[in-house]
Chain A
Amino acid sequence: MEAVHGHAHEHGHDHHGPTGIMRYLTTTNHKDIGSMYLWFSFAMFLLGGAMAMVIRAELFQPGLQVVNPEVFNAMTTYHGLIMVFGAIMPAFVGFANWLIPMQIGAPDMAFPRMNNWSFWLLPPAALLLILAQFVPGGGAGVGWTMYPPLTIQQGMSMDLTIFAVHILGMSSIMGSINIITTVLNMRAPGMTLMKMPLFCWTWLITAYLLIAVMPVLAGAVTMLLTDRHFDTHFFNPAGGGDPVLFQHIFWFFGHPEVYIIAIPAFGVISQIIPAFARKPLFGYSSMVYATASIAILSFLVWAHHMYTVGMPVQAQLYFMFATMLIAVPTGVKVFNWVATMWKGSMTFETPMLFALGFLFLFTLGGFTGLVLAITPVDVQLHDTYYVVAHFHYVMVAGALFSAFGGIYFWLPKWTGKMYDETLGKWHFWLSFIFFNLAFFVQHFLGLAGMPRRIPDYSLQFADFNAVSTIGAFGFGLSQLLFLYIILKALRSGEKAPQKPWEGADSIEWTMLPTPAPYHSFEKPPVIR
């Protein structure tokens, strides 16, 4: 962000690299790269959000009004891909870049050049996903899960999409290697693993998940590609392949992916809640173990996404119980957050509001997840709007709210500028209300049997869909307010005090000036 840049020059730091666009193309500074990740993910968030608006506009009324079904299907596909791989994941990598070196007392990430590469792979991948909309045949209408045989029958947009997934995967793997190495090797003397802020722990675990499953996704889409063009038959029944195999491989990646998105969000929340409850995090070590258990369990439950493919009942039972088991460590985390607030002297600034919004709505999304874990119920609800409501509660109200909270929380540290507290609260309440308006009713739609990924629906679903569309547009427009708040803070925000949050106690607050200098911890701090 500009403010950091300006600050570096003001104080005559030893930053005399290229300027303008070359500065950002060639930067190896973790703060620059973190900012670029965050801006990129916000741009992708607006793009994916615009696609969501197309979907909701079409679903405002029954019948086909706005787009034709092919475009609708492409929108559901790319909304999912862009939000997952373009918005949420890079946003948390941005947080990791900014915060991990500052929280463990390291001068930068372990491999700064590779860090630059991991970021600059993202824009080409995003361009491929956008380009896929404009090739003959239009965007691939397969859903973000890319199930064959439909995927094998799509036009060239599918190849662009597969290639984009490859690049995004490479970027994530490089980012993860960097994060693991930084956390394991670059901690300041005295900063033991169990003294690290929980955010670093959650990212360490997430990074391991990423290098374990992103290559599997890369393998799966490579098989799709060779099935499409090189006459292999991994998923093609005519040649002895099996489309269900793709679902198994995809969800072996896909379920850990859910936690790749959620676990860094847990980390952010675990920093925010203690700061505003003015109490240390309750049960720190149990938080670490719970996070690790969630990560391990996430590898063992993939087939609960595919109860309806015709699995033996023993497999269904196993996946049902294993899935429910995840509620235990997740419950540990939720109770620890609540216990952190217990008898704390709480204040409710914007970051805390988002953290509490996260806590309520993520828990609600977790409960609907438990409902969906029950095989016989899931067979009824599979591919209905109930599932859509469930995962938007954990992805939007979970990961996204946590990212918003994190931005408001660390913006003063990063830029030295305060955001407008009144507008921040407006942003929270508008997001909170419109989010529930958009997605709560979708539970009812799903329970009543409305299938997802279809541009038209029966008349009896009309009212709830209209409500949902109003909520979605309200939510989307509220995010423009967020952009305004950030720009206003950067342009004319009040100067942030050294420690804007009384209860924040990790070392980026206690040992570094505000705003954080362009180069921090060049000499490792001493942690007692």
Chain B
Amino acid sequence: MSNVASNRLLLRKLVVVAVAMFGFGFALVPIYKKICETAGIYDIQRADKVMNTQVDRSRTLTIEFDANTRDLPWKFRPLQTSIRAHPGELVHVVYEVTNTTAAAGLGQAIPSYGPQIAGQYVKKVECFCFTRQELLGNETRQMPVQFVVDPQLPPDVSVITLSYTFFELPGGKAPGAS
């Protein structure tokens, strides 16, 4: 066979393509983050800019609050289960979290919304979910959330549920979760 050398050359090129595509799989992670950031899609760890503070007094919304924990021996609850507010109005609520064990732990709260579409209209100015929360043993902490519901909210939405789940962050190994 006279073309052994050219076969090997092609083999090498194709291996490079395969390895590059393996790298591309990982490169998709930052690319995806960047696209979401530039397109403004749902960046949950950043404060929203509230541009329009016009309060729409013709509508009154019920906003319900919910709290969950995952893998963390923490007690987590909102101080108010629901409030009524107008779109455009600045709302201030407080959540309370208690570390039920003697050891310190590290957690991150992730919000979710019901109905899902409400997520993009709840503009959070301040939230404990923007940063990780480190609790000392038996510490109790009250944490604020400040947000404005965008008056552009579709008219058929009258009840919004804002739910937070505290996840255990590795690194600050939480007690109890061995």
Interface of A with B (CB < 8 Å)?
107, 110-111, 173, 176-177, 180-181, 184-186, 211-220, 222-223, 231, 234, 236-240, 242, 245, 248-249, 252, 310, 312
Contacts and interface: CB of A to CB of B under 8 A. Distances in A.
Contacts of B157: none
A310 B116 contact: yes
B18 to A, nearest CB: 5
Given A218-B22, A234-B29, A248-B28, A211 B167 contact: no
Interface string B7-23: 10011001101111111
Given A240-B45, A312-B39, A219 B14 contact: no
A416 to B, nearest CB: 28
Given A215-B22, A249-B25, 8 more contacts: A173-B18, A177-B15, A181-B11, A211-B14, A219-B26, A234-B29, A238-B108, A240-B108
B108 A248 contact: no
Given A216-B25, A238-B169, A239-B170, A186 B3 contact: yes
B24 A216 contact: yes
Contacts of B110: 237-238
A69 to B, nearest CB: 23
Contacts, number: 91
A185 B22 contact: no
Contact of A184 (B10, B19, B23): B10
Contact of B28 (A110, A237, A239, A252): A252
A227 to B, nearest CB: 11
B21 A211 contact: yes
A239 B108 contact: yes
Of the listed residues B15, B19, B25, B32, the one surrounded by the most CB atoms of chain A closer than 10 A to its CB is B25
A237 B42 CA distance: 13
B84 interface: no
Interface in B139-178: 167-171
B32 A248 contact: yes
Contacts of B45: 240
In the A-B complex, the 3 residue pairs with the closest CB atoms = A219-B25, A238-B167, A215-B22
B70 interface: yes
A238 B18 contact: no
Nearest to A220: B25
B38 interface: no
Contact of B170 (A214, A219, A222, A231): A231
Given A212-B17, A212-B21, A248-B32, A181 B10 contact: yes
B41 interface: yes
Contacts of A110: 7, 10-11
Nearest to A173: B18
Contact of A181 (B7, B20, B21, B23): B7
B58 interface: no
A212 B23 CA distance: 11
A110 B2 CA distance: 12
Nearest to A170: B18
A245 B29 contact: yes
B6 interface: yes
Contacts of B7: 110-111, 181, 185-186
A252 B29 CA distance: 13
Contacts of B19: 215
Contact of B6 (A173, A185, A219, A220): A185
B172 to A, nearest CB: 12
Contacts of B11: 110-111, 177, 181
B3 A185 contact: yes
A181 B14 contact: yes
B40 to A, nearest CB: 9
Interface string B96-125: 000000000001101000001000000000
A285 B11 CA distance: 27
A238 B168 contact: yes
Nearest to B168: A238
Interface string B30-57: 0010000001011001000000000000
A180 B9 CA distance: 12
Nearest to A235: B29
Contacts of B32: 242, 245, 248
Contacts of A213: 21
